[in-house]
Each structure stands twice: as C-alpha cells, then as structure tokens.
Amino acid sequence: SQQGEEDPQALSIQEGENATMNCSYKTSINNLQWYRQNSGRGLVHLILIRSNEREKHSGRLRVTLDTSKKSSSLLITASRAADTASYFCATDGTGANSKLTFGKGITLSVRP
Amino acid sequence: KAGVTQTPRYLIKTRGQQVTLSCSPISGHRSVSWYQQTPGQGLQFLFEYFSETQRNKGNFPGRFSGRQFSNSRSEMNVSTLELGDSALYLCASKTGTGRGVTQYFGPGTRLLVL
C-alpha cells in the first residue's frame, strides 16, 4: 500500500517558474526522501529530510517537513526543461527494519 | 565508481515461465533492495538483502524470491509468471542497512509477460 500521496498528480509550468509538489503520509516516519525518475528509468535520489528536521536545501531544491501534519513539500526554483520528470516522495518508517514506501508520483512538465 | 547495473534491461516472457533478474550494486555497497513499478500500483518494495541474508520483505506472493551472493550481487526470481507481473523491476544499493542512508537505483529491467 502507498504511504505517501503526492499532490498534484501532474504539474505543467513554464521554464523559469517555481514548481511546488506536496506529499502527505499516514504513519510515523524516521525520514522522508524525494526522488526523480525520467521516462520510466531508474530513480535518482534528490534529498533526504529526517523527522527532526523542518527544512533542507540542495541547490535549487528546498524541502520542508511538517510531522504534525504528516506532510512534506518539494520546491524546485527557477525550473528548467531538464527538470521534466516524475517526482516521488518516499517514507522510511520507524519499524524494526528500514524500508522505503513510495507515493504514486507527480509528473512535472516544464515548457521551454 | 560504476553505478548500479541491472541485467537484462528488457525481457519478454510468456505466462507460466520463470525469470531471473540480476543486479550488481555499487562497489562497497552491501545492501540491495528490489522494487516493482507498475502504472497501477506504483513503486512497491519487494525485499532487501544484506550480507546474503534477507532483511526485509514486502507483501508479494512466494513466487517472488531473491538471493544475494558473497560479492553482494543479487538476483531475483519470479516463477510461474502472470500477466500482472509485467513491470519495471528496480534494484537499489546502499552501504548498509541503517536509516537515512542514500539508496542508489539501477536503470531497471522491464519485464513484459505475454
């Protein structure tokens, strides 16, 4: 079953604009991660935020985490056509073993 | 360092057959996880191996099995294939089993069951 649910399911923006994607989850987490996937290929790890962190930055990426609302957001600033991809949030729970549970993903299209 | 490699990249099988997929992790990575990705169910965790032992298992039938060798390479096997097994199978490796450790994914094996 999916733990994370991303919102919106699809997003289309113009190059140079910012893209904001949201993820909600249901159970307690140890950390939350965002991945990118281009055209059904392998996933690329973008950023990890731990449950005791509220915000993290990496280049043009900004991730926030609100554990009280069980939600996270990924902001891509100054988007480029090359950012066109599917984006997934994945949660790592607090059980005995580390295991990632992925959402269904957001399709981002950046128009040149 | 070479990335995670998966072979074969594409595979076509018929119902009832079995298939073996291979994954070579990044050098030095001892944990290998497998995921199934389908349009309907999304990305689902199959299992994780570390030091030749299965550490964690997802909610898949017993037709799905795996193993890991002493060099950390891993294989997964699906027996008695069903149409619904058509999917992209992804493997990922990381250095250990701890939390907050980045997983690196391979390009996947696309399996089509006819």
With vertex at residue B23, the alpha carbon angle to CA A30 and CA A104, rounded to the nearest 5 degrees, is 45
pLDDT higher than 80, residue A40: no
For residues B8 and A77, give the distance between their C-alpha atoms in angstroms, rounded to a whole number: 37
Q: How far is B95 from chain A (nearest CA, A)?
A: 13
pLDDT tens, residue by residue, A16-37: 999 999 999 998 899 999 999 9
Q: Are the beta carbons of A42 and B108 separated by less than 8 Å?
A: yes
pLDDT over 70 for what percent of chain A? Answer: 95
Residue to substitute from B26, B59, B103, B110, interface A, most A β-carbons within 10 A: B103
- Provide the edge-to-edge strand list for the sheet that holds B5-7: B5-7, B19-24, B74-78, B64-68
Q: Are the beta carbons of A102 and B43 separated by less than 8 Å?
A: yes
Q: How far is A48 from chain B (nearest CA, A)?
A: 7
pLDDT higher than 90, residue A98: no
Residue of B nearest to A106 (CA): B42
Neighbouring residues of B40: CB distance < 8 A, sequence distance ≥ 6: none
pLDDT of residue A3: 62
Which tokens go with A49?
């935020």
Task: Report yes or no: B106 at the A interface, CB cutoff 8 Å.
Answer: yes
- Identify the band that residue A1 occupies on the pLDDT scale cut at 50, 70 and 90: very low
Residues of chain B with pLDDT under 50: none
pLDDT higher than 70, residue A2: no
Instruction: Count how many Cα atoms sit within 13 Å of the Cα of residue B101 in the half-sphere of its side chain.
Output: 16
What is the dihedral angle through the alpha carbons of A8, B47, B76, B61, rounded to the nearest 10 degrees? -90
Collect all residues of chain B within an 8 Å Cβ-Cβ radius of residue A48.
Answer: 100, 102
